[in-house]
Amino acid sequence: MKLEGNCQTTAMGIMPHTDADEALELALTLDIPFWPQLPKVDFMEDMYAQVSEHFPGIILDSQKRAISFSIEKFYEDFEEFMPCWEDEAFFRLSSEYSAVFHKFLERDFSGYKYIRGQSIGPVSYGLKILDETNKPMIYYEEVRQIIFDFVAKKLKAQLSEMQQVHPGAFVWVDEPGLEMIFMAFTGYTSERAKEDYRTFLKNFPGPKGVHLCGNPDWSFLLQMELDVLSLDVLARGHIFSRYADEVKAFLDRGGIISWGITPTLAEEYERENVRSMVKMLDDLWTSLHRAGIAREQILKQAWLAPARCCLVNQDGEETVAKSFRMLQEVAEHYKSRI
């Protein structure tokens, strides 16, 4: 499936809503709707909890809203786990782990070109979940490859279910942990991560997308075999635009960049408006144009999105909803110029 850009709107997966139907309705206002991950509705709607379903060695306490790992339990669970390895149904996201996903599948998508799903990515998952000694489970050599293969199978199962309701379905992974692997203190080296990620992407079903709000090695990501790269340009655009050569090569290969631009943090939102958002994008794209990337190509291979997920606003979902509305106005400004 060849994805089209043309400044279509989409958004990150995590939303602050406490009402699933309201979150779904907001997601459906975008050109590319997605099923929301709603940790404030239930801990099982958290992206780390969702991918943990059936992973060996995981200890999930929904009452304490905590996930941990035990290497002893990993080996105990492994004997029951491996016979299910080729069973796609085993890797599906059950209604217990996401009622919202199944509500999403019941919606009418006849007016949409694409629909999108998501999962936490393998690096972020492996670095976030710790054992009783606070050792990330990705540091265990025997566990690390299982993480990458397991997440790939979860993506395949999710995509398969979504394709049953819409032929234009695709998925991406949320990878905040990719920022961490390039810091000196991590015990998971960038060289190892690059090799693991290349292998992971070969098993990634459909168009391959990565979303993150942090500041990783952009050169590393832009040179990966990705179809979509989603980032927070409100905070990181001035850094990202310095990688003009890599951005050009990524676009020349047909990649889509999802430019996260409209603020979701209440304090930021009050300082911005449609005009300031357009100016920021224009400045970034002018910089890239001067470096040799045609503005027409940037627009044709662009999606637009809110800058990042936000669960901390005192007004709950109000600012996020306003950010989605601002996004649509920004997108309309550019769609009229394609």
Q: What secondary structure does DSSP assign to 265-303, as a single string?
A: SHHHHHH--HHHHHHHHHHHHHHHHHTT--HHHHHHTEE
Q: Is residue 2 included in any domain, yes or no?
A: no
Residue 184: the pLDDT is 54
Q: Residue 115's beta-bridge partner residues? A: 169
- Tell me how many domains the chain contains: 1
Residue 185: the pLDDT is 56
pTM score: 0.96
Nearest one of 119, 138, 121, 120 to 129, comparing CA atoms:
138
Q: Is residue 217 included in any domain, yes or no?
A: yes
| CA 310/CA 316 separation, integer angstroms | 9
Q: Which domain holds residue 84?
A: 8-335
Residue 182: the pLDDT is 63
Per-residue pLDDT of the chain (338 residues; tens, 9 = 90+): 899 999 999 999 999 999 999 999 999 999 999 999 999 999 999 999 999 999 999 999 999 999 999 999 999 999 999 999 999 999 999 999 999 999 999 999 999 999 999 999 999 999 999 999 999 999 999 999 999 999 999 999 999 999 999 999 999 999 998 888 766 556 677 788 889 999 999 999 999 999 999 999 899 999 999 999 999 999 999 999 999 999 999 999 999 999 999 999 999 999 999 999 999 999 999 999 999 999 999 999 999 999 999 999 999 999 999 999 999 999 999 999 88
Q: Is residue 1 included in any domain, yes or no?
A: no
Q: Is residue 3 included in any domain, yes or no?
A: no
Q: In the structure encoding, which two tokens stand for residue 311, read together? A: 């669960």
Residue 186: the pLDDT is 62
Q: Is residue 231 included in any domain, yes or no?
A: yes
| CA 12/CA 212 separation, integer angstroms | 9
Phi-psi category of residue 134: left, alpha or beta, with phi > 0 → left and psi -120 to 50 → alpha:
left
CB 98 within 8 A of CB 152: no
Residue 179: the pLDDT is 87
Return the exposure string of 175-207: e unless at least 16 CB atoms fall within 10 Å of the residue's CB, then b. Answer: bbbbbbbeeeebebeeeebeebbeebbeebbbb
Residue 35: the pLDDT is 98
Q: Is residue 329 included in any domain, yes or no?
A: yes
| CA 159/CA 243 separation, integer angstroms | 32
Model confidence over 186-208: pLDDT tens digits? 667 778 888 999 999 999 999 99
Q: Is residue 170 included in any domain, yes or no?
A: yes
Q: Is residue 261 included in any domain, yes or no?
A: yes
Q: Residue 111 sits in a domain of what CATH number?
A: 3.20.20.210
